[in-house]
Amino acid sequence: MVERVGVNALHRRIQNESAPLSGWRREEFRLRSTGMTGELPSSIIAGISFIGRSGGMVKTLGGFKKGHHTVPDAANATTNAFLGKICAGELAAGAEALFQQVRSRLGYKRKEVSLTLASPGAVLAAKDFTVEISYTLDEADPTRYGAVTILRDLRNVELARTEEFSEVFARKFSEISFGLKRGAKVEAVVDAIESMDGEGGLAVSYPSDCRECVITVEGVDAQVRCTGSALDLVFPRPGAPRELIEAFVAVRSAFSVSRELSGLIG
């Protein structure tokens, strides 16, 4: 079922449906990896998002007409509206392909999955999760655009571990983000890791104002970023949700050596 609505209406719908990282409010999160099982209590974790990023040159989009259109020299409301017009073909084709994969591979019926298009954004709403796709101009280089795909409100964690789910979302996501209900003091996280003097294979880097810190975990091919309100794992290459979850299990195990760090994620 595909619905087309105005951009403003879609923006309001996205805001209403996506209170930041709002999934998993009614159930526990269980991870199983190589015999390890863990729970993320709702008192700590507000929700989870899987994030994927791509992009390219504005002039390569199907709606860009050479000799008629000019490449944006700034990123603002007007130029992003222009982007919405010229990226409509790519957005619609990509969103429709995802809709068909989700419907067929995961066995959803018509009433269980829908697609809403309003370029430069799209929302796929399934009974077990929501996917948002959005195109925006690169503020640092408005001759380029970025396309962000976010999977959120995952209501069935075991679904994310299935082969079918991995096939649908293969090589889609390079970040996994956990919202922290109580938040965390970045300085306290830094102090906890520095006090360990390398024990547990943990190291940390941070700017002078400690607005965030980046943690490296021995054996995990991802950077762990703590911003105080969220804990993010950023990977060098995209993968399926199952792969990102497996890496998180390893991070959680490494954090268990410190009471302060283990309290961050349960």
Alpha-helix residue ranges (DSSP H) falling in 178-217: 186-196
pTM of the model: 0.81
Determine the structural domain holding residue 15 and report its residue range.
2-265
pLDDT of residue 24: 36
Q: Which of 15-24, 78-87, 131-140, 212-221 has the lowest mean pLDDT?
A: 15-24
Q: How far is CA 25 from the centre of its chain?
A: 18
Give 206-227 pLDDT, tens digit per residue: 999 999 999 999 999 999 999 9
- Ranked by mean pLDDT, the top range of 13-17, 26-30, 52-56, 254-258 is 52-56
Checking if the pLDDT of 263 tops 90, the result is: no
Checking if the pLDDT of 251 tops 80, the result is: yes
Give 185-209 pLDDT, tens digit per residue: 999 999 999 999 888 899 999 999 9
pLDDT of residue 34: 37
Per-position DSSP letters for 44-101, written without gaps between them? TEEEEEEEEEEEEEGGGSTT--BTTB---SS-SHHHHHHHHHHTHHHHHHHHHHHHHH
Residue with tokens 């309100």: 229
Q: How far apart are CA 99 and CA 87, in angstroms?
A: 18
Number of domains composing the chain: 1
Checking if the pLDDT of 152 tops 60, the result is: yes
Question: And the tokens for 179?
Answer: 């919202």
Residue type at position 35: G
- 169: which DSSP letter? T
